[in-house]
Amino acid sequence: MALFIASLNSGSNGNCYYIGNQNEAVLIDAGISCREIEIRMKQRGLSMKNIKAIFVSHEHTDHIKGVSTLAHKYTIPVYITAETAKHGPRLIKHLSNPFFANESISIGDLMVVPFTKEHDAVDPHSFVVSFNGITVGIITDIGIACDQVKHYFKQCHAVFLESNYDETLLETGRYSLLLKNRIRGGKGHISNREALDLFNNHRSPHLTHLLLSHLSKENNSPEIAMQLFQPSAGKVQIMVASRYEASEVFKISTEKVSVLKVANPKTRQFRLFE
């Protein structure tokens, strides 16, 4: 029993992450076009028939661009907070489902837990997806590594973790001071160094895969990020999620079953759309 994960795209030009077992899967965000999602999933041997839900982290275009078209074409339910929905994709009412922080949502045998984070959106959330004792985090667009981020990060077997910018490149780059301060001001994005601190100080002993995500095209590079993280990798496989193509599909499994700890746990059971 395992979870299969892939980044379909990661960056300011669009974000979309696949997490699923053999029979069902969810997408976290759909910030590239429906056509590109179809193409990239087919390239990686992933079936659209397995997608049972789309979870929307926040309303920025690079996270919602393909949501509406994809949901309507395949009749996929979309999980989105009420505040984000006011500013997000246009959806047929029956496809839109609310979620609430720290309340688990069952999608077949998958359990998805959203949690709040610091980002300059109306109601931003990140997610962990669990199955058979395996937990995968999708933790991007975080201004800081807040307590919620730390709580869920330390439970993960695999994580898509934002490592957005190199501090020197941002400081010396061409962005305006206003934009620089927005990025590094606690509600924008986290730097390579801040992401490394989270990895070094809060990773679980059962973490096996770390996909560095949402790298800035202007203020970072895969080489810089990898050079920083690699000395601390240990037994963890570290990769960069590309802004140009889908990653390979990674199989996440463990012989040790662990239980996801949810803050103020509640469970909402939803019917799957066949």
Question: Can you give the pLDDT at residue 265?
Answer: 52
Question: Can you give the pLDDT at residue 105?
Answer: 98
Nearest to 135 by CA among 262, 9, 220: 262
Question: Can you give the pLDDT at residue 257?
Answer: 40
Find out whether 140 and 159 touch, Cβ atoms under 8 Å: no
Question: Can you give the pLDDT at residue 261?
Answer: 60
Can you give the residue ranges of every domain in the chain?
A: 3-245
Question: Can you give the pLDDT at residue 229?
Answer: 98
Q: Residues for the chain: how many in total?
A: 274
Question: Can you give the pLDDT at residue 137?
Answer: 98
Question: Can you give the pLDDT at residue 168?
Answer: 98
In the chain, which stretches have pLDDT less than 50? 256-260, 267-274
Question: Can you give the pLDDT at residue 270?
Answer: 34
* CATH no., domain 3-245: 3.60.15.10
Give the integer Cα–Cα distance in Å for 76 and 242: 26
- Does the pTM of the predicted model rise above 0.75? yes
Residue 33 has phi, psi (to 5 degrees) of -65, 160
Q: Pairing between strand 110-116 and 103-107?
A: antiparallel
Question: Can you give the pLDDT at residue 254?
Answer: 77
| Alpha helices, DSSP H, located in 52-140 | 61-64, 67-74, 82-87
